[in-house]
Amino acid sequence: MALFHVARYAGPEAAGAEADADGRARALLQRLQCRARERELQRQPLQQEPAGSAEPAQAAGKRRRRPRRTRRREGGGAPASPGEPNGKRRRADGEDAGAESSEEAPEESSVAADAARPPEGPGGPLPEEAPGPPAQALVLGDFGRSRAPKVQPFLPVWLAEPSCVGKNVTEGLVPIEDIPEVHPDLQKKLRAQGISSYFPVQAAVIPALLESAAGGFLVSRGGYWPSDLCVSAPTGSGKTLAFVIPVVQALLPRAVCQVRALAVLPTKELAQQVSKVFNVYTDATSLRVALVTGQKSLAKEQESLVQKTADGFRCLADIVVATPGRLVDHIDQTPGFSLQHLRFLVIDEADRMIDSMHQSWLPRVVAAAFPSGGTRGPSALLQRTRPQAVTAASICCPQTPLQKLLFSATLTQNPEKLQQLGLFQPRLFSTGPVRRGLGAPDVDVDGDLGGKYLFPAGLAHHYVPCSLRSKPLVVLHLILEMKFSRVLCFTNSRENAHRLFLLVQAFGGVAVAEFSSRYGPGQRKMILKQFEQGKIQLLVSTDATARGIDVQGVQLVLNYDAPQYLRTYVHRVGRTARAGKTGQAFTLLLKVQERRFLRMLAEGGVPGLQRHDTPSELLQPLVPRYEEALSQLERAVKEEQKQKAA
Ligand SMILES: Nc1ncnc2c1ncn2[C@@H]1O[C@H](COP(=O)(O)OP(=O)(O)OP(=O)(O)O)[C@@H](O)[C@H]1O
> Mind listing the pLDDT tens digit for each residue in 401-430?
899 999 999 998 888 889 889 999 999 999
CB of 400 shorter than 6 A to ligand 1: no
Nearest alpha-carbon partner for 327 in 240, 526, 317, 518: 317
Give the pLDDT confidence score for residue 311 in this predicted structure.
84
Residue closest by Cα to atom 27 of ligand 1: 548
Gyration radius of the chain's alpha carbons? 28
Ligand 1 geometric centre to CA of 13 (Å)? 30
Number of Cα atoms under 13 Å in the Cβ half of residue 117: 14
pLDDT reported for residue 26: 78
Using the CB atoms, write b or e for 262-294: b if 16+ within 10 Å.
Answer: bbbbbbbbbbbbbbebbbbbbeebebbbbbbbb
Closest C-alpha among 248, 146, 153 to residue 442: 153
Residue 234 pLDDT = 95
| 130: pLDDT strictly greater than 60 | no
Cβ of 548 closer than 6 Å to ligand 1, yes or no, is yes
User: Above 70 in pLDDT, residue 51?
Assistant: no
Q: Evaluate whether 531 touches 555 at the Cβ level (below 8 Å).
A: no
Residue 381 confidence (pLDDT): 54
What separation in Å is there between the alpha carbon of 11 and the centre of ligand 1?
35
Q: Which of 193, 245, 550 to probe ligand 1 with, by most ligand atoms within 8 A of CB?
A: 550
577 pocket-lining for ligand 1 (C-beta < 6 Å):
no
Average pLDDT over residues 122-137: 47
pLDDT band at 142; cut points 50, 70, 90: low
Please tell me which residue, 66 or 323, carries the higher pLDDT value.
323
Q: pLDDT tens digits, residue range 439-455?
A: 444 444 333 334 578 89
Q: Which of 346-350, 380-384, 472-476, 500-504 has the lowest mean pLDDT?
A: 380-384
Q: Does 240 contact ligand 1 (Cβ within 6 A)? A: yes
What's the gap in Å between 169 CA and the centre of ligand 1? 10
100: CB partners within 8 A, 6+ apart: 90, 91, 92, 494, 516, 517, 542, 543, 544
Q: Is 238's C-beta closer than 6 angstroms to any atom of ligand 1?
A: yes
> What is the C-alpha to C-alpha distance for residues 208 and 205, in angstroms, rounded to an integer?
5
Q: What is the pLDDT of residue 75?
A: 40
Our answer on whether the CB atom of 239 is closer than 6 Å to any ligand 1 atom is yes
Binding site membership of 195 for ligand 1 (Cβ less than 6 Å) = yes
Confidence of residue 152 (pLDDT cuts 50, 70, 90): low
**Ligand 1 centre from 168 Cα, in Å?**
12
Whole-angstrom CA distances from 382 to 216, 249, 367, 399 are 13, 21, 16, 5
pLDDT band at 495 (very low <50, low <70, confident <90, very high): very high
pLDDT at 410: 94
CA of 238 relative to ligand 1 center, distance in Å: 3
Q: Give the closest residue (by CA) to ligand 1 atom 29.
A: 550
Probe target for ligand 1 pocket from 202, 239, 265, 278, with the most ligand atoms within 8 Å of CB? 239
- 550 pLDDT more than 70: yes
200 Cβ below 6 A of ligand 1: no
pLDDT at 225: 80
Compute, in angstroms, the gap from residue 213 CA to the centroid of ligand 1.
Answer: 23
Q: What is the pLDDT of residue 443?
A: 40
H/E run at residue 479: helix 471-482
For residue 39, with 0-12 CB atoms within 10 Å meaning exposed, 13-18 middle and 19 or more buried, which class applies?
middle
Whether the CB-CB separation of 540 and 507 falls below 8 Å is answered with: no
pLDDT at 397: 61
Cβ neighbours of 135 (radius 10 Å): 5
Out of 41-50, 69-78, 552-561, least confident range: 69-78
Q: Which residue has the higher pLDDT, 304 or 157?
A: 304
CA of 170 to the centre of ligand 1 (A): 12
| pLDDT recorded at residue 423 | 93
For the CA of 199, the nearest atom of ligand 1: 1
- pLDDT of 321 > 60? The answer is yes
Single pTM value for the model = 0.77
Is any ligand 1 atom within 6 A of the Cβ of residue 576? Answer: no
What's the confidence (pLDDT) of residue 78?
40
Q: Is 574 in the pocket of ligand 1 (CB under 6 A)?
A: yes
What's the CA-to-centroid distance between 203 and ligand 1, angstroms? 13
Percent of the chain with pLDDT over 70: 70
Do 570 and 459 form a contact (C-beta atoms < 8 A)?
no
Phi, psi at 136, each rounded to 5°: -85, -5
Instruction: Give the separation between CA 262 and CA 324, rounded to whole angstroms.
Output: 11
Q: Is the pLDDT of residue 52 over 50?
A: no
Higher local confidence (pLDDT), 232 or 81:
232
E-strand spans in 38-186? 138-140, 163-164, 174-175
Ligand 1 touching residue 266 (CB < 6 A)? no
Atom from ligand 1 closest to the CA of residue 548? 27
Q: Which amino acid is at 242?
A: A
Cβ(506)–Cβ(625) under 8 Å?
no
Q: Say yes or no to pLDDT of 540 above 50.
A: yes
Q: Best mutation site among 190, 231, 237 for ligand 1, i.e. most ligand atoms within 8 A of its Cβ? A: 237
**pLDDT higher than threshold 80 for residue 344:** yes
Q: How far is the CA of 316 from the centre of ligand 1 (A)?
A: 29
Percent of the chain residues topping a pLDDT of 90: 56
- Convert the pLDDT of each residue in 568-612 to its tens digit: 999 999 999 999 999 999 999 999 999 999 999 998 889 999 999
Residue 598 and residue 611 in contact, taking contact as beta carbons nearer than 8 Å: no
Distances in Å between the alpha carbon of 269 and those of 409, 487, 523, 525, 591? 18, 19, 11, 7, 35
Taking the alpha carbons at both ends of the chain, their separation in whole angstroms is 66
> What's the half-sphere exposure (Cβ side, CA atoms, 13 Å) at 245?
34
Contact between 190 and 248 under an 8 Å Cβ cutoff? The reply is no
Residue 337 in contact with ligand 1 by CB distance below 6 A: no
CA-proximal residue: ligand 1, atom 14 (nearest): 236
**Residue 398 has what pLDDT?**
62
**Rounded mean pLDDT of the chain?**
80
Q: Is 456 in the pocket of ligand 1 (CB under 6 A)?
A: no
